[in-house]
A and B are shown apart, each in its own frame.
Chain A
């Protein structure tokens, strides 16, 4: 796919041209950190909520995404796939509006032809081989030479177009790349990829990330979801963080990462004389908050290293026998919890 200028809709008068995904924008935490403006971009999500019965899958989310790669980061069940489905028109929002290239994909068939979706589910037309599968995608998108387009796109994702096996015999990584080829074959303006790196080995993952970055640099709007922070770090600088159906942070990845690094860390401590030790930790400034339950202490600290250095001498001085010191929240969930709690 050769580089080419990509159309970016001009922002309507009176609306902000900078989406939250803009790399020039300072990071924001929480939906309510700033009064939501009507966003402008290739994908515009405004005040969107989605309910499934009593379950709130997405709650009052507003953002805009322009050309380039934007990562949607969130734990499983956060609402990422539901947001993607609404962008593609596969399900309507319960409240708010979703516009892709200025239109509702559920109603506008021309816009559907400008979206490429690689869905999260592993389903493919299992009796077809990869070439036939991607060829059908090309034909239904109106590509005039579907066989040639399908062959080129399969080669692009490093699959053999002449492989006669049906896709049911493919590995997870090959199926992912088949889905990606089907999403890319008509050269869409907006590419929506739901967990596209799942099932890929490290080499394929690195190449896929390189390809997505190229596609974004060529002016396409590439939206990629992931629940793995390190994947997002490699994908680019713009991220939207979704947790519990809410947009909890958006902006530049590096700045958000630094902000996340500054968050209080939670450490579990087991020791005799736990109340005395907990009080001493707070008094010395090693912990900013403690919770004591029997011999167990859960301490919040801004400096894990300092707590590690000081806790043993402190316990010895207080004649408290220290049994264990364990970090509790080094995982991604804790980052989301922190972002949610800060809202």
Chain B
């Protein structure tokens, strides 16, 4: 090695790493780190179950209300009850909490942290990487499952569109929130599951105020408004729902950037 040290070529030329380039580089690393065959198989299977059950529901002869409106309601309820309550938060949690949380826990974060780059690009890359993986795993089953559950009744396209919008925006918002969670807590998946079950699942049933503080309420408002279905809860307008979901995502990323700047890195 000693001989090679003196024989090696000259000092490498360097340039400043801009925010866009830093984001792209970190994205490239993080997406490879969070995607594993096990995760994709398990969460893909969950999505497949939703699609299959949606098809079974759509073809069931024992429906309580077989009118078009009833079928639309069933499809939207199914997209909400399985897609928005289970698949979207769980899939987002698994990938987003892992994006920086796993790197922090296993000690690889140092290879991205100790670099002449800002912190915001690293956080943005983590959110982008987790959203890239989560979006197809959330949107496709939620949209297809909801659509199949309508048995292609008149207006089923609206259910599919509403499910798509709600799942997509919900996934982005949850991804950003859970990137922050991954930096706040070790074993963030457990904290995330507790949040999903206890807050998004139970506490929102306590009243309007609690529901205002849950992402699920805004995501299913999108579904409800676009599908034009009354799902029996406080529904916000499309604009309000979009603004709140985007604002939660932006605030989560800002807080995650601050948190990353102050983090003790192993």
Contacts and interface: CB of A to CB of B under 8 A. Distances in A.
A140 B117 contact: yes
B202 interface: no
Chain B interface mostly helix, strand, loop or mixed? loop
A127 B32 contact: yes
A113 B6 contact: no
A185 B5 CA distance: 12
A174 to B, nearest CB: 13
Nearest to A109: B116
A186 B115 CA distance: 11
A149 B12 contact: yes
B115 A113 contact: yes
A217 to B, nearest CB: 10
B8 A125 contact: no
Contacts of A137: 111
Interface stretch (A9-17, A114-122, A288-296, A323-331): A114-122
Interface string A146-167: 0011001101111000000000
Contacts of A187: 11-12
B9 interface: yes
B15 A144 contact: yes
Interface string A86-125: 0011110000000000000100011011010101011111
Interface string A207-230: 110110111000000000000000
Given A90-B264, A139-B25, A142-B14, A1 B5 contact: yes
10 A-B pairs closest in CB distance: A210-B2, A113-B116, A123-B107, A211-B1, A121-B107, A207-B1, A90-B265, A91-B264, A149-B12, A214-B5
Given A110-B116, A186-B14, A210-B2, 14 more contacts: A2-B9, A88-B110, A88-B114, A90-B264, A90-B265, A123-B108, A125-B29, A136-B29, A138-B12, A141-B115, A145-B12, A145-B13, A149-B12, A152-B9
28 contacts: A1-B8, A2-B9, A2-B10, A3-B6, A90-B266, A91-B265, A109-B115, A112-B115, A113-B14, A113-B116, A117-B114, A121-B266, A122-B107, A137-B111, A141-B115, A142-B14, A142-B17, A143-B12, A143-B13, A144-B13, A153-B8, A155-B4, A155-B8, A158-B4, A182-B111, A211-B4, A213-B2, A214-B2
